[in-house]
């Protein structure tokens, strides 16, 4: 079977290498020349465990990369994995998707049967619109939302909890059989297959992400009360999580969720409610709590310095929105750096992932962040250099910083205070060393 994948970002690249590993002939297509040049040489453009190995194994064998759409002519299946970012009004921007769909038209024979699979996260009704675009072609459109998590993307791809497939009609068996063939590996592993109609499949993805975001906002809201009354949210979360009806995942209080999916998907879902005149009371609150959480934490830092952080120096530990990724989209670390810089602070930023550091430098170099602050920001590649002579440490990404040498940090730092925005540190140990410790709700 021949497969084309349009858009080789996080989702499309992981899909391309994985389908190649299943033995299919795969062509990854992207409009980004630089990305394609690197991939052609078998070099990864993302930081993901195992990705380099799979690229080495398959590139220029059964996996090729190109900027040309030509391969769609001979493909049985065309996956659309382009970005669906957020418009200013919160709705999903479908320009990349419709542009990609439009471009492939010229390469298709109207009579030859093909399946177009939409893997991008798209609002309800999008699969139907894509089908309308190809109404005079022999094409079926399938909704196949993706659930991988950055940082463990390959592990997630090969061990999915479910495969969701949405179709125009369940009476038409042809695309169903073809998709089951693509994912036969998972069929054999007894992964549940949800075979349903387009609208349900489209909504499953938003429902899942908004639910996880809501769980985070719930515990974050609670953390503010815990903070006020002297309770410990970490113990509360742990205790709640022991109840299997609640579960312990996505229940760590912190400075809020970020990343390429949760913030935009929550807002796109709100828009879908509003477009259909249904009030999204709970989901709106999820978004509001998330936006307020980082401000609340920032104010806590400011209060410590009597509301004047001008010329104070901070070590911000964590740039990416979560551990082991280079993705800075909606990262709370970057947001916090922006807030600190805006009030005149000097920031030394650090992340364990080299590409995350490079991406951070690029954001500020290209003035794409909320503002540009000249020389008040330094991105360093060594944690001990980062904490040297600072007025405070701020933890923004959920890494296990306990493994660092805090005796050494104690000697390097100017003012022994830690603001743990992810509640990752062993607070007792840190305090014993003579640090002042401020967590989230504890």
Q: What is the binding site for ligand NAD (CB under 6 A)?
A: 6-12, 29-32, 35, 81-84, 96, 99-100, 103, 120-121, 146, 148, 150, 260-261
Beta-bridge mates of residue 138: none
Q: Which of 261, 266, 336, 417 is catalytic?
A: 261
Q: How far is the CB of 301 from ligand NAD (least distance, A)?
A: 29
- Cα–Cα distances (Å) from 334 to 85, 306, 338, 407, in that order, read 18, 23, 6, 27
| Of 100 and 201, CB closest to ligand NAD | 100
Cβ nearer to ligand NAD, comparing 51 with 412: 51
- Shortest separation between residue 48's beta carbon and ligand NAD, angstroms: 10
The token duo for 419 is 């603001």
CB of 280 to ligand NAD, least distance (A): 19
- Which residues partner with 166 through β-bridges? 143, 196
Residues 6+ apart with CB under 8 A from 151: 48, 322, 323, 324, 325
Query: Which residues are within 8 A (CB) of 258 and not within 5 positions of it... i.e. 6 or more apart?
Result: 321, 322, 329, 330, 331, 332, 335
Measured from the CB atom, the residue of 234 and 264 that comes closer to ligand NAD is 264
Smaller CB distance to ligand NAD: residue 60 or 67? 67
Minimal distance in Å, beta carbon 155 to ligand NAD? 13
Instruction: Describe the strand order of the beta sheet including 377-380 as a list of residue ranges.
Output: 377-380, 346-350, 313-317, 392-395, 417-420, 436-438
Q: Which is nearer to ligand NAD, 21 or 48 (CB)?
A: 48
CB of 29 within 8 A of CB of 67?
Answer: yes
Count of other CB atoms within 10 angstroms of residue 10: 24
Q: How many helices (H) and strands (E) does the chain have?
A: 17, 14
Contact between 59 and 42 under an 8 Å Cβ cutoff? The reply is yes
Q: How far is the CB of 336 from ligand NAD (least distance, A)?
A: 22
Query: Is the C-alpha dihedral spanning 319, 323, 324, 325 positive or negative?
Result: negative
Query: Which one, 329 or 357, has the nearer CB to ligand NAD?
Result: 329
The backbone torsions φ and ψ at residue 140, rounded to the nearest 5 degrees and listed phi first, read -110, 145
User: Which of 353, 354, 318 lies closest to 336, judged by CA?
Assistant: 318
Nearer to ligand NAD, 69 or 314 (CB): 69
Cβ–Cβ contacts within 10 Å for residue 73, how many? Answer: 15
CB of 286 vs ligand NAD, minimal distance in Å = 17
Catalytic site includes residue 81: no
Query: Which segments of 78-229 does DSSP mark as H helices, in order?
Result: 95-105, 126-133, 153-158, 173-182, 184-188, 198-229
Cα of first residue to Cα of last residue in the chain, in angstroms, is 55
Greatest alpha-carbon pair distance for the chain in Å reads 74
Minimal distance, residue 170 CB to ligand NAD, in Å? 24
As beta bridge partners, residue 317 has 350, 395
Residue 40 or 103 having the CB closest to ligand NAD: 103
Min dist CB 300 to ligand NAD, Å, is 30
Q: Mind telling me the catalytic residues?
A: 261
């Amino acid at each position: 079977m021949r497969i084309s994948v349009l858009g080789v970002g996080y989702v499309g690249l992981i899909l391309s290498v994985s389908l190649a590993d299943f033995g299919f002939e795969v062509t990854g297509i992207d409009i980004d020349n630089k990305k394609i040049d690197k991939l052609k040489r078998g070099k990864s453009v993302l930081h993901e465990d195992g990705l380099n190995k799979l690229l080495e194994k398959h590139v220029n064998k059964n996996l090729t990369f190109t900027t040309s759409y030509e391969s769609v002519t001979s493909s049985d299946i065309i996956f659309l994995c382009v970005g669906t970012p957020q418009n200013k009004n919160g709705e999903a921007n479908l320009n990349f998707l419709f542009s990609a769909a439009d471009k492939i038209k010229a390469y298709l024979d109207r009579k030859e049967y093909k399946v177009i699979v939409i893997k991008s996260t798209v609002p309800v009704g999008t699969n139907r619109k894509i089908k309308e675009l190809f109404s005079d072609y022999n094409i079926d459109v399938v909704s196949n939302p993706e659930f991988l998590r950055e940082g463990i993307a390959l592990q997630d791809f090969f061990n999915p909890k479910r495969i969701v497939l949405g179709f125009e009609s369940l009476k038409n068996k042809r695309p169903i059989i073809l998709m089951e063939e693509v994912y036969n590996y998972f069929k054999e592993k007894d992964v549940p297959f949800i075979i349903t109609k387009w609208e349900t499949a489209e909504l499953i993805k938003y429902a899942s992400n908004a639910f996880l975001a809501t769980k985070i906002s719930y515990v974050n809201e609670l953390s503010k009360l815990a903070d006020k009354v002297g309770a410990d949210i970490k113990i509360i979360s742990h205790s709640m999580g022991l109840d299997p009806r609640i579960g312990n995942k996505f229940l760590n209080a912190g400075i809020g969720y970020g990343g390429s999916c949760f913030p935009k998907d929550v807002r796109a879902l709100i828009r879908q409610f509003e477009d259909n005149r249904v009030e999204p009371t709970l989901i709106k609150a999820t978004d509001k709590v998330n936006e307020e959480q980082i401000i609340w934490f920032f104010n806590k830092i400011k209060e410590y310095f009597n509301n004047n952080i001008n010329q104070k120096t901070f070590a911000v530990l964590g740039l990416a929105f979560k551990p082991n990724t280079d993705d800075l989209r909606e990262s709370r670390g970057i947001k916090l750096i922006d807030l600190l810089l805006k009030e005149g602070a000097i920031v030394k930023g650090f992340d364990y992932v080299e590409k995350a550091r490079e991406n951070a430098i690029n954001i500020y170099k290209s003035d794409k962040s909320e503002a540009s602050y000249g020389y008040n920001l330094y991105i360093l590649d060594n944690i001990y250099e980062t904490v040297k002579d600072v007025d405070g440490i701020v933890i923004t990404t959920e890494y296990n910083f306990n493994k660092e040498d805090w005796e050494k940090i104690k000697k390097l730092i100017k003012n022994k205070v830690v603001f743990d925005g992810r509640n990752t540190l062993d607070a007792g140990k840190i305090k014993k060393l003579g640090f002042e410790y401020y967590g989230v709700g504890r």
